[in-house]
């Protein structure tokens, strides 16, 4: 069944129960607002902006927007772009689009004006929804993109070149449109993260979205009583498909705008969150803040918090060891996925397998996996090869890119581009991105392995390893290291620490600098290579 049926079911069964909460600590006004009246209710104990909607209102808002789109001529198969920061309007807009039979096209909030236009053109978007944070960028391209597109604005202070979403939907019908939608109908276009090049448009149907909801609920046993804390951006499959577990179970979810340790812990405490998905840097920041005495976990009510899970990037075992020491009663889990496989869960560790920390796990619910060599032949256990996945959550194609589709989808299998190996118990470990492998003197170096080792150094906050050109060896490994605020660290310290590594795996260059990550936590290695792989770069320049 289409994913929209779950929302309508929840509105019928749990209509008066809270579905979504938005918490925004960047707004200091003390008030609590309902979606319908926008009126002052009572002082907010958070001392920051908080809004909430019920399942019934959620569904009504989606219906109103769907009917607006239909009135404006949007048809089944058309595309509607979403350029919004996380907010209470985001998901009702998304589901309103789906209810028309149109495709939702979420856009990365970091895109420049030119990138926004590129993605709108690539996905053939007919309508663009955008928020206050994007007025300047949209205005740069408004004349070009408005010639054949509708522009709707979400928030206060609507610019003259757009129409106001709130005003337009206020008088629209709140009942569901009669558009027939099937599992095989196209539902959404997501964009790849662009960590290995410019984003590709990834097409998914309703069966993919529904499968991701089933996978998430199955993996984490979410019930109506669970409260999910969502911090990552909803434009990305990793955030939305984790939230789909709440949709499937009818539970409440909290959208938090903020990643400071005290903000996360306070929200978990006040909203009684039971499931929290963190990126590695956020978990690291919480642990470091506790170690420095800046945060006291006894100041918060965290007893109901049952599960902490991490995805979107390799997880250092040393981080989880520290976490379990601080939170011994927490279940821990990690998921592996790609936007091409509708986000997290095609490979899944499982809360019962914490003894395998460092692995991404085994095939997830409803998924198959295999590891193959360059000829597509399955490798033996322990050998490194390319990870391939197969299941109902696979993309239909790269939209308008037949060659990339053919290179990635083969006989029903998605070739992920990630190098992996399987241990004697059948657990899969990521080795590295196929394109990130460093070939130095004929040896294959897998940066993730070196990064995991370096993160165990007590002074290292974050690290990225890339290949630099070398006349003799072809490439050499360079480690870009971000040092913890309260620590000092030198090149000699790192080189001494790396004596534990085999000689060929030791970084040839140490660079002390920030490690750039995208909004989903992935290291932006193309950006690092652009900075440091310039011809003629010498050690004195690197260490400056």
pLDDT in tens, 167-207: 999 999 999 999 999 999 999 999 986 544 568 999 999 99
Structure tokens at 151: 């522009």
More confident: 474 or 66? 66
Sorted by sequence, the CB contacts under 8 Å of residue 503 that are 6+ apart come out as: none
The distance between the two most distant Cα atoms of the chain, rounded to a whole number of Å, is 70
pLDDT in tens, 420-457: 999 999 999 988 676 777 878 666 787 888 888 898 89
Question: Do you know the residue count of the chain?
Answer: 544
pLDDT score recorded for residue 155: 92
pLDDT classification of 520: cutoffs 50, 70, 90: low
| DSSP output for 294-342 | S--GGGS--TT--EEEE-SS---HHHHHHHHHH-TT-EEEEEEEEGGGT
Sorted by sequence, the CB contacts under 8 Å of residue 5 that are 6+ apart come out as: none
Structure tokens at 376: 């597509």
Q: Is the pLDDT of residue 289 over 70?
A: yes
Q: Is the pLDDT of residue 363 over 60?
A: yes
How many Å apart are CA 26 and CA 519, to the nearest integer? Answer: 18
pLDDT score recorded for residue 538: 39
Strand, coil or helix: 487: coil
Strand, coil or helix: 363: strand
Q: Is the pLDDT of residue 391 over 90?
A: yes
Q: Is the pLDDT of residue 508 over 80?
A: yes
Once rounded to an integer, what is the mean pLDDT over residues 7-35?
Answer: 78
311 Cα distance to chain centroid: 8
Report yes or no: 478 and 467 within 8 Å, Cβ to Cβ: yes
Q: Could you give the percent of the chain with pLDDT greater than 70?
A: 90
Sorted by sequence, the CB contacts under 8 Å of residue 109 that are 6+ apart come out as: 83, 84, 85, 133, 134, 233, 235, 519
Once rounded to an integer, what is the mean pLDDT over residues 364-382?
Answer: 94
pLDDT in tens, 83-133: 999 999 999 999 999 999 999 999 988 888 988 999 999 999 999 999 999
Q: Is the pLDDT of residue 80 over 90?
A: yes
**Of the segments 81-90, 342-351, 513-522, which one has the largest average pLDDT value?**
81-90
Rounded alpha-carbon distances, angstroms, from residue 479 to 207, 238, 280, 508: 42, 27, 18, 8
Q: Is the pLDDT of residue 313 over 70?
A: no
pLDDT in tens, 459-478: 999 999 998 887 667 788 99
How many Å apart are CA 373 and CA 386, to the nearest integer? Answer: 6
pLDDT score recorded for residue 528: 87
Domain boundaries defined on the chain: 4-258, 306-433, 437-542
- How high is the mean pLDDT of the chain? 88
Phi and psi for 437 in degrees, rounded to 5?
-60, 135
Once rounded to an integer, what is the mean pLDDT over residues 314-341?
Answer: 89
Write down the H helix ranges in 128-164.
135-145
Sorted by sequence, the CB contacts under 8 Å of residue 391 that are 6+ apart come out as: 211, 341, 346, 364, 366, 367, 368
The CATH T-level fold of domain 306-433 is: Luciferase; domain 3 (2.30.38)
pLDDT score recorded for residue 290: 95
Superfamily covering domain 437-542: ANL, C-terminal domain (3.30.300.30)
How many Å apart are CA 445 and CA 465, to the nearest integer? Answer: 10
pLDDT score recorded for residue 192: 82
pLDDT score recorded for residue 40: 37
pTM of the predicted structure, to 2 decimals: 0.81
Q: What is the CATH number of domain 4-258?
A: 3.40.50.12780
Q: Is the pLDDT of residue 413 over 90?
A: yes
pLDDT score recorded for residue 314: 66
Sorted by sequence, the CB contacts under 8 Å of residue 157 that are 6+ apart come out as: 132
Q: Is the pLDDT of residue 292 over 50?
A: yes
């Amino acid at each position: 069944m289409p994913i929209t049926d779950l929302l309508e079911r929840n509105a019928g069964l749990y209509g008066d129960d809270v579905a979504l909460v938005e918490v925004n600590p960047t707004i200091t006004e003390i008030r609590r607002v309902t979606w319908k009246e926008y009126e002052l209710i009572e002082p907010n104990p958070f001392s920051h902006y908080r809004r909430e909607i019920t399942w019934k209102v959620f569904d009504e808002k989606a219906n109103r927007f769907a009917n607006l789109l239909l009135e404006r001529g949007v048809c089944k198969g058309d595309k509607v772009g979403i350029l919004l920061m996380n907010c209470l309007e985001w998901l009702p807009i998304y589901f309103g689009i789906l209810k028309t039979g149109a495709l939702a096209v979420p856009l990365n909030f970091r895109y420049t004006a030119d990138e926004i236009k590129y993605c709108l053109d690539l996905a053939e978007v007919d309508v663009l929804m955008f928020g206050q944070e994007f007025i300047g960028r949209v205005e740069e391209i408004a004349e070009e993109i408005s010639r054949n597109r509708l522009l709707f604005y979400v928030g206060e202070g609507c610019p003259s070149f757009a129409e106001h979403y709130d005003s337009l939907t206020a008088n629209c019908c709140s009942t569901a449109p009669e558009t027939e939608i099937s599992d095989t109908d196209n539902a959404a276009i997501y964009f790849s993260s662009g960590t290995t090049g410019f984003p590709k448009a990834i097409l998914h149907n309703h069966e993919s979205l529904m499968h991701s909801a089933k996978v998430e609920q199955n993996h984490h046993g979410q019930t109506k009583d669970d409260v999910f804390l969502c911090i990552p951006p909803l434009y990305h499959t990793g955030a939305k498909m984790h939230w789909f577990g709440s949709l499937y179970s009818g539970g409440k979810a909290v959208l938090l705008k903020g990643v400071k340790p005290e903000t996360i812990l306070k929200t978990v405490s006040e909203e009684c969150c039971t499931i929290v998905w963190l990126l590695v840097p956020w978990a690291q920041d919480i642990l470091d803040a506790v170690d420095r005495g800046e945060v006291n976990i006894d100041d918060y009510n965290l007893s109901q918090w049952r599960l902490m899970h991490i995805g979107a990037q390799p997880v250092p075992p040393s981080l989880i060891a520290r976490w379990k020491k601080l939170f011994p009663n927490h279940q821990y889990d990690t998921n592996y996925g790609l936007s091409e496989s509708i986000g997290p869960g095609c490979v899944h560790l499982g809360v019962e397998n914490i003894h395998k920390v460092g692995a991404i796990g085994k095939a997830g619910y409803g998924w198959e996996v295999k590891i193959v060599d360059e000829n597509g032949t399955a490798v033996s256990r322990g050998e490194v090869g390319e990870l391939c996945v197969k299941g109902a959550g696979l993309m239909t194609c790269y939209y308008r890119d037949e060659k990339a589709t053919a290179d990635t989808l083969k006989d029903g299998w998605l070739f992920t581009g990630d190098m992996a190996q399987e241990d004697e118990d059948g657990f899969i470990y990521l080795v590295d991105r196929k394109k990130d492998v460093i070939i130095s003197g004929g040896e294959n170096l897998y940066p993730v392995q070196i990064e995991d080792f370096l993160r165990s150094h007590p002074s290292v906050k974050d690290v990225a390893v890339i290949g630099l050109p070398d006349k003799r060896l072809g490439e050499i490994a360079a480690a870009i290291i971000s040092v913890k605020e309260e620590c000092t660290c030198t090149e000699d310290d790192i080189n001494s620490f790396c004596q534990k590594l085999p000689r060929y795996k030791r970084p040839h260059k140490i660079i002390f600098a920030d490690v750039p990550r995208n909004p989903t936590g992935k290291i932006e290695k193309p950006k690092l290579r652009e900075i440091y792989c310039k011809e003629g770069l010498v050690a004195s320049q690197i260490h400056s």
